[in-house]
Amino acid sequence: MSEAAYVAVDWGTSSFRLWLMDRQDQVLAERRSGEGMTSASQTGFSTVLNMHLQAVQAGHSLPVIICGMAGARQGWVEAGYVDVPAPLSSVLKGAVPVNGESRDIRILPGIAQRSEDMPDVMRGEETQLLGSSQQGGSRLVCMPGTHSKWVSVAGETVKGFSSFMTGEVFEALSKHTILKHAMAEAQSFDGHHPAFVAALQAAHARPAMFTNLIFTCRSGQLLHGLDATAAAARLSGILIGTEMAGGLSIADRNTKIQLVASGKLQALYEAAFAALDLDFSTVDADLAVRKGLAAAAHSLFSVAHN
Instruction: Name the site residues for a copy of itself (rule: CB under 8 A).
Output: 112, 114, 116-121, 147, 162-166, 168-169, 171-173, 175-178, 198, 202, 206-212, 214-216, 219-220, 222-224, 239, 242-243, 245-246, 249
Q: How far is the CB of 63 from a copy of itself (least distance, A)?
A: 30
Q: How far is the CB of 253 from a copy of itself (least distance, A)?
A: 14
290 DSSP assignment: H
Q: Is there a contact between 283 and 142 (Cβ–Cβ < 8 Å)? A: no
Q: How far is the CB of 273 from a copy of itself (least distance, A)?
A: 16
Q: Is there a contact between 4 and 285 (Cβ–Cβ < 8 Å)? A: no
Pick between residue 80 and residue 155 the one whose CB is nearest to a copy of itself. 80
Pick between residue 132 and residue 242 the one whose CB is nearest to a copy of itself. 242
Pick between residue 29 and residue 186 the one whose CB is nearest to a copy of itself. 186
Q: How far is the CB of 290 from a copy of itself (least distance, A)?
A: 27
Q: How far is the CB of 204 from a copy of itself (least distance, A)?
A: 8
Pick between residue 243 and residue 286 the one whose CB is nearest to a copy of itself. 243
Distances (CA, A) of 130 to 10, 53, 126, 127, 301: 14, 25, 6, 5, 17
Q: What are phi and psi of 184, to 5 degrees?
A: -60, 135
The Cβ-side half-sphere exposure at 23, using a 13 Å CA radius, reads: 8
Residue 218 region by backbone torsions, left for phi larger than 0, else alpha for psi between -120 and 50, else beta: alpha
